[in-house]
DNA sequence: ACTAATGTTAGTCT
DNA sequence: TAGACTAACATTAG
């Protein structure tokens, strides 16, 4: 379940492996992953001859800069990238294969098949879905705190749901929302309309601190996440509430509780998370 | 052997 | 229109 820190770690490890390589051919074993262009055959036709010049990240999206195009990739739950010699045995659940002219290939694997890829002409990637509605993530230098606060304050939804909304703030998923709200001392069921400016400032600060620490630790590995060099993350050791149900809160000793919020498992300390 | 839970986003319904 | 709900899918825990 890659969120911002995992996607950023994937970006950092993957760019060393593929930047400068030129695509020779593409194979697609699960066409639904290719969302744009509409025709998968066209996707396969456009790629050969394209060189990967850089990999960027926006929220949880990876953007592969090519000679003439940009490939926008979302890993959803279980998507993974790896680079292997062409002769290496194909792993299970490999759905898209980019073969390079140097005899290696970039393989996209995804047990759940939820991941997506969109190919755009260079410069057009922000004008259409999936990126057109995406908010800035809090690690971007042009993240506008006031815009975030305005959006939250006029929403009647609970803050847990608001923080998961990628059009309000990008990059947070279920794990980092719970950790952020714990650090900010805010109850996950607080409505956006009930949050003070101070609480919203704490939420932004907490999100930045949590995400930066997680990036420094190479992300969080709960079940299956590994970066593009097959390494797990280490931030799971730092989790204060996510997956800590019934364990004593590190601050007050009260047991961490787990509830359902709109169907999502939600962890919090009932004693420490009361400030609005 | 069945059922529920897992997490992210787009699309649909109200 | 904002918000709630569900589908897309596979695996695993109970």
pLDDT in tens, A184-208: 999 999 999 999 999 999 999 999 9
Could you check: is the Cβ of residue A114 within 7 Å of any atom of nucleic acid strand C?
Answer: yes
Strand C nucleotides in reach of protein CB atoms, 7 A cut-off? 2-6, 8-11
Query: Is A262 within 7 A of strand C by CB distance?
Result: yes
What tens digit of pLDDT does each residue of A63-97 get? 999 999 999 999 988 899 999 999 998 888 899 99
Residue ranges and CATH numbers for the domains of chain A are: 4-121 (3.20.190.10), 145-268 (1.10.8.50)
For residue A153, give the 3-state DSSP assignment. Answer: helix
pLDDT at position A229, please?
77
**Which residues of A carry out catalysis?**
2-3, 60, 264
Whether residue A124 contacts residue A161, with contact meaning beta carbons closer than 8 Å, is answered with no
Alpha carbon distance A225, A237 (integer Å): 15
> Taking 70 as the threshold, does the pLDDT of residue A223 lie above it?
no
Which tens digit of pLDDT belongs to each residue from A7-49? Answer: 999 999 999 999 999 999 999 998 889 999 988 999 999 999 9
Residue nearest to nucleotide C9 (CA to C1'): A112
**For residue A236, is pLDDT > 90?**
no
Through-space separation of residue A208 CA and nucleotide C14 C1' in angstroms = 37
Tens-digit pLDDT profile for residues A114-172: 899 999 999 999 988 889 889 999 999 999 999 999 999 999 999 999 999 999 999 99
Threshold 0.75, pTM exceeds? yes
Q: Residue A93: its pLDDT value, please?
A: 87
Q: What is the pLDDT of residue A111?
A: 87
The rounded mean pLDDT for chain A is 91
Mean local confidence (pLDDT), A220-239: 77
pLDDT at A227 over 80: no
Measured from Cα to the C1' atom, the residue closest to B9 is: A76
> What pLDDT score was predicted for residue A195?
95
Pick out residues 231-270 of chain A having their CB under 7 A from any atom of nucleic acid strand B: 260, 263-265
Contacts (Cβ under 8 Å, ≥6 apart) of A43: A26, A28, A34, A36, A37, A117, A119
Residue A114 approaches strand B within 7 Å at CB: yes
pLDDT (0 to 100) of residue A38 = 86
The answer to whether the annotation marks A11 as part of a ligand binding site is no
Nucleotides of strand B lying closer than 7 angstroms to a protein CB: 5-11
A12 Cβ nearer than 7 Å to chain C strand? no
Question: H or E segment at A148?
Answer: helix A145-153
pLDDT (0 to 100) of residue A92: 86
């Amino acid at each position: 379940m890659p969120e911002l820190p995992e996607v950023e770690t994937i970006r950092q490890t993957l760019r060393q492996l593929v930047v400068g390589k030129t695509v020779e051919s593409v194979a697609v074993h699960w066409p639904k992953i290719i969302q744009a262009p509409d025709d998968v055959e066209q996707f396969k036709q456009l790629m050969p001859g394209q060189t990967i010049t850089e990999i960027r990240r926006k929220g949880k999206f990876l953007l592969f800069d090519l000679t003439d195009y940009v490939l926008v990739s979302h890993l959803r739950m279980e998507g993974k990238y790896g680079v292997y010699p062409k002769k290496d045995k194909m792993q299970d659940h490999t759905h898209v294969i980019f073969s390079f002219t140097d005899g290696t290939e970039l393989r996209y694997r995804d047990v759940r098949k939820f991941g997506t890829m969109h190919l755009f002409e260079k410069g057009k990637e922000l004008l259409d879905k999936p990126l057109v509605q995406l908010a800035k993530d809090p690690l971007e230098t042009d993240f506008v705190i006031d815009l975030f606060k305005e959006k939250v304050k006029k929403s009647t939804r609970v803050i847990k749901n608001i923080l998961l909304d990628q059009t309000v703030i990008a990059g947070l998923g279920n794990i980092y929302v719970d950790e952020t709200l714990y650090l900010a001392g805010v109850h996950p069921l607080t409505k956006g309309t009930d949050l003070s400016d101070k609480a919203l400032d704490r939420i932004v600060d907490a999100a930045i601190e949590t995400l930066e620490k997680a990036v420094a630790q190479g992300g969080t590995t709960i079940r299956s996440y590994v970066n593009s060099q097959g390494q797990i993350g280490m931030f799971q050791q730092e989790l204060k509430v996510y997956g800590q149900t019934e364990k004593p809160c590190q601050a007050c000793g009260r047991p961490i509780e787990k509830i359902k919020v709109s169907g999502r498992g939600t962890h919090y300390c009932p004693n420490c998370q009361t400030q609005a």
